[in-house]
Structure 1
Amino acid sequence: MSIIVTGADGYLGWPTALRIADRTDERVVLVDNFGRREWVESVGSTSAVPVTHIDERVDVAKETLDLANISFVEGDLTDRSFVDQLLSVHEPETIVHTAAQPSAPYSQINGERANYTQHNNLQSTRNLLWGLHETGLEDTHFIETTTTGVYGAPEFPIPEGGAVMENGGERDEVPFPAMAGSWYHLSKSHDAANMRLAHTQFGLPISDVRTAIVYGTGTNETAADPRLSTRFDFDYYFGVVAHRFCAQAVAGYPMTVYGKGEQRKPFIALEDAVEGLAQLALGDPDARPDDHVVYNQVTRAISIVEMAETVADVGSEFGLDVDVKHFENPREEDETHKMEIENDRYADLIGGQSTTFEEGVRQILETLLDHEGTVTAHEDRFLPDVLTDDEQNETVIEFTESEESDSSEEIQSVSGK
């Protein structure tokens, strides 16, 4: 028996695989097809932190962390025959499925990328679910990182799982409706529905881990050797907003807050995200779950403007003079939405938040200053192409607070760096 971690060359998958392997003697099989490297390269960007090849990573992990129980298999999870062979050979008791095309902006570029995102993500998950059923591995615990983006932005507190629906005086808990705002997020909504169906039809134990925006440059395991570092993307398409703000600060580039920036988004430090997945993967086999459980993998919600101000404040400790600029929002979203999201189940799993956002920002800035040349060489990737095509006519919105705390707008044209 073994534990399989898919997407193991990726930002979240790699440190998760190391954490799991460090806490068990079972064989941990890493699976990837290096898609993330290709997607980032295709938009003209790169990881700020050098990412060694997976073969060297595995060798260093064995040598530095004494992880003799890890191995790597290259393969495409959309290939049904590969998945069937993978499951038949390794007979996993647990699968941690982090493999996906994870970028909402990338999925929105055009119809080709939207189609690719949904095909890649849905086909991979379906192949794994059906493969477990058809190879007689229905007791395998299937853990997938979906996304909190499946919830959209409702005006009520987001539950950790289903929603209560009432009609004709009768009430019942139903799956939360797919309110996703991008082709990527909708792919994960479909994954969530397919996992629920697989549990119902095949009896598979399912943990649907709805992952928030993950930030941070590493974990205790990746810090053991520079060659164990996980990737760090900072461009518009693959760099989450916290990473992009930190990279902009290091490059002396104004932090690009879209619109008012008062909308709150769910966040979690990489360390806390990895810990939860490890806890799920390494639970007592005799107490293996036989249910379908949803976890909101989030530790707190932060507004975009608060995030930018925090980066500016922490950046001053490093001598960085950081401007916060409000740009016209290229996205359709409520710029004042005050998200509330329940996370009791996940908080119990990890024992509470281990890293504050301020600590995470400090760690990120320290790392990026060591790789400043890579960041500045790709600063044209901070903004989507539709904006960078005409930088000299960038529209910036400056907000001032009235006595009633209502935001008023003053629009001016400035040259954008």
Structure 2
Amino acid sequence: MSIIVTGGDGYVGWPTALRIASRTDERVVAVDNFGRREWVASVGATSATPIASMDERLAGAREVHDVHNLSFVEGDLTDRGFVDELLSVHEPRVVVHAAAQPSAPYSQINGERANFTQHNNMQATRNLAFGLHENGLSDTHLVETTTTGVYGAPTFPIPEGGATMENEGERDEVPFPAMAGSWYHLTKSHNAANLRLAHRQFGLPISDVRTAIVYGTETEETRADDRLKTRFDFDYYFGVVAHRFCAQAVAGYPLTVYGKGEQRKPFVSLEDTVEGLARLALNDHAERPSEHVVYNQVTRPISIVGMAETIASVGDEFDLDVDVTHVENPRDEDETHQMEIENERYMALIGEQRQDFEGGVRDILEALTRYGDTITAHEDRFLPDVLEE
């Protein structure tokens, strides 16, 4: 028996695999096809932090953390034959599924990339669900990382799980309506629906971890050695807004807030994200879910202007002169939307928030000031280009 972490070369997947392996004697198998590296390169961008090869990462884990139970398998989860072989050989007790094409802007470039994103993300998840069932592994706990982006931006509090509907005096709980706003986010909506069906038909125990916007460069394990660092994307397509703002601060660009910028977005630190996934993976059999369980993996919503002002304030500690400017909003959105999202189940899982936004920004700026040359060499990647034409 083992624990498999898909997307094991990725921003979240690598530090998650490393943490799980450091806390158990079980075999932990990281799986990836190195697609993220190729997709980022295809838009002319790069990670600000140098990414070691997988061999170097594994060597660093052994030497720095005495982790000898972590291995790597290269393969494509959209290939059903590969998935069947992976599952039959390693017979996982848990699969943490963190593999996906993760960028909404990338999925919006054109029809080719939209089709690729939908095929890649949904085919991989279906292959895992059917592979577990058809290989006699229906007791395996499948932890799927989806996204809070499936919710859209409703004006009422978002539940952690289903919504209650009432009609003609009858009440029932139904899945929260999918209101995704990109071809990428729709893949996660479809995956959530497919996994509910997989639970109902195959009896698979499913944890649907709806992850907010993740920020940060470090976890407890990655700090120890540069070989263990995870990637940090800051471009328009793959860099989340907090990361782009931090990179712009290092490059001397003003942080441009659209309109009032008072609308709140859900955030969670990399440290807290990894902790939640690791705890789900390491629960013993008695604690694993027998049902389809939704976790809203978010610590708190943060306004866009509040995020920019925090980055500017922390930037002073690094002698960065950061300006925050407001520009006309090109988007049709409520600039004052105050997102409310329930997260009691997730907070009970991790116990307490391990890193707040200010601490995450401090980590980010500390890392990025080391690699300022990389950022300035790719500062044209802050904005979209002709790929969208």
What's the C-alpha RMSD, in Å, of the aligned pairs?
1.4
Equivalent residue for 1:51? Answer: 51
SS at match of 1:73: strand
Equivalent residue for 2:324? Answer: 324
Q: Displacement, 1:288? A: 2.5
Listed as ranges, the matches of 1:272-351 within 5 Å are: 272-351=272-351
Equivalent residue for 2:354? Answer: 354
Q: Displacement, 1:356? A: 1.2
Between Structure 1 and Structure 2, how many residues are aligned? 389
Equivalent residue for 1:413? Answer: none
Distance 2:100 2:13 in 1: 10
Question: Which letter maps to 1:166?
Answer: E
Distance 2:296 2:355 in 1: 17
Question: Which letter maps to 1:221?
Answer: E
CA-to-aligned-CA distance 1:25-47 (integer Å, 9 cap, x gap): 00000100001001111111100
Distance 1:326 1:195 in 2: 42
Q: Displacement, 1:50? A: 0.1
Equivalent residue for 2:125? Answer: 125
Distance 2:83 2:388 in 1: 41
CA-to-aligned-CA distance 1:362-411 (integer Å, 9 cap, x gap): 1111110011100111111111226999xxxxxxxxxxxxxxxxxxxxxx
Q: State the identity %.
A: 78
Distance 1:116 1:330 in 2: 27
Which structure's CA Rg is the greater one? 1
Distance 1:295 1:63 in 2: 34
Q: Which moved more, 1:236-245 or 1:321-330?
A: 321-330
Distance 1:25 1:278 in 2: 14
Distance 2:30 2:153 in 1: 34
Which TM-score applies when normalising by structure 1?
Answer: 0.91
Q: Displacement, 1:332? A: 4.2
Question: Which letter maps to 2:261?
Answer: G
CA-to-aligned-CA distance 1:154-174 (integer Å, 9 cap, x gap): 010000011111111211110
Structure 1 gap segments, 5+ residues each? 390-417
1:240 aligns with 2:240: yes
SS at match of 2:294: strand
Listed as ranges, the matches of 1:8-23 within 5 Å are: 8-23=8-23
CA-to-aligned-CA distance 1:80-122 (integer Å, 9 cap, x gap): 0000000000000100000000011111111111111110000
Question: Which letter maps to 1:323?
Answer: D
On the 8 A contact 2:109/2:388 being kept in 1, the answer is no
Distance 1:253 1:266 in 2: 25
Equivalent residue for 2:150? Answer: 150
Distance 1:24 1:258 in 2: 46
C-alpha change, 1:371 and 1:45, in structure 2 (3 Å) is same
Distance 2:262 2:370 in 1: 31
Distance 1:142 1:38 in 2: 27
Distance 1:300 1:123 in 2: 32
On the 8 A contact 1:138/1:202 being kept in 2, the answer is yes
Q: Displacement, 1:329? A: 3.8
SS at match of 1:207: strand
Distance 1:329 1:206 in 2: 40
SS at match of 2:173: strand
CA-to-aligned-CA distance 1:290-337 (integer Å, 9 cap, x gap): 111000000000010110011111111211111122344454433221
Equivalent residue for 1:401? Answer: none
On the 8 A contact 1:2/1:90 being kept in 2, the answer is yes
SS at match of 1:371: helix
On the 8 A contact 2:259/2:329 being kept in 1, the answer is yes
Equivalent residue for 1:211? Answer: 211
On the 8 A contact 1:262/1:337 being kept in 2, the answer is yes
Equivalent residue for 1:404? Answer: none
Distance 1:359 1:321 in 2: 19
Q: Displacement, 1:53? A: 0.8
Equivalent residue for 1:403? Answer: none
C-alpha change, 1:84 and 1:345, in structure 2 (3 Å) is same
Distance 1:12 1:189 in 2: 20
SS at match of 1:37: helix
CA-to-aligned-CA distance 1:125-181 (integer Å, 9 cap, x gap): 000000000001000000011000000000100000111111112111100111001
Equivalent residue for 1:365? Answer: 365
C-alpha change, 1:158 and 1:386, in structure 2 (3 Å) is farther
Distance 1:14 1:213 in 2: 17
CA-to-aligned-CA distance 1:3-48 (integer Å, 9 cap, x gap): 0000000000000000000010000001000010011111111000
C-alpha change, 1:330 and 1:87, in structure 2 (3 Å) is farther
Distance 2:388 2:133 in 1: 48
On the 8 A contact 1:380/1:388 being kept in 2, the answer is no
Q: Which moved more, 1:378-387 or 1:2-11?
A: 378-387
Equivalent residue for 1:257? Answer: 257
SS at match of 1:172: strand
